[in-house]
């Protein structure tokens, strides 16, 4: 139970990080351009990742060559995210930007779970999961008003 609570808290911390990162990236993108801000953010992330990796004694980094090709190009999704932020934030505001990102994430997550894509365990769409998605969309609509 404690592990589940910790996982939930860590997930919430990640959500808070995304909540701050989006507006910061958007503001930076307005000043220097979306691609430039994405580069700065990713270089900063690479530096902090390298430091954390060194602290963790390299984990299993030497096995990177065994990863499937699609894992090696996953960074493109970060670029897509930052370009999206730079379009949505100035036009729709921070709340709507985060709402759209979360809606897209959850919808994608439901599809990945349902079909077992990318090696995740299959978790079929149920009535309650579909209802949750509809409520999320309804909430996004209400937030946008």
The position carrying tokens 């530096």 is: 47
Q: Taking CA 12 as the corner, what is the angle to CA 44 and CA 70, rounded to the nearest 5 degrees?
A: 55
- Summarize pLDDT for 76-111 with one digit per residue, the tens: 998 999 899 889 988 988 888 888 888 888 889 999
- Summarize pLDDT for 22-78 with one digit per residue, the tens: 889 888 999 999 899 999 999 999 999 999 999 999 999 999 999 999 999 999 998
pTM for the predicted model, two decimal places: 0.78
In Å, what is the CA distance from 1 to each residue of 4, 12, 77?
Answer: 5, 17, 33
Yes or no: say if 53 and 59 are a contact pair by the CB < 8 Å rule.
yes
Sequence ranges of the domains in the chain: 2-144
């Amino acid at each position: 139970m404690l592990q589940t609570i910790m996982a939930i808290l860590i997930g919430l911390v990640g959500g808070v990080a995304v909540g701050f990162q989006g507006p910061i990236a958007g503001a930076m993108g307005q000043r220097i351009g979306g691609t430039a801000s994405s580069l700065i953010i990713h270089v900063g992330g690479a530096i902090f990742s390298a430091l954390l990796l060194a602290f963790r004694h390299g984990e299993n980094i030497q096995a990177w060559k065994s990863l499937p090709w699609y894992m090696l190009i996953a960074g493109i999704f970060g670029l897509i995210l930052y370009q999206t932020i730079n379009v949505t934030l100035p036009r729709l505001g921070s709340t709507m930007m985060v709402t759209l990102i979360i809606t897209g994430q959850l919808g994608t997550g439901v599809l990945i779970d349902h079909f077992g894509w990318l090696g995740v365990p299959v978790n079929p769409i149920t009535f309650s999961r579909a209802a949750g998605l509809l409520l999320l969309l309804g909430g996004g609509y209400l937030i946008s008003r």
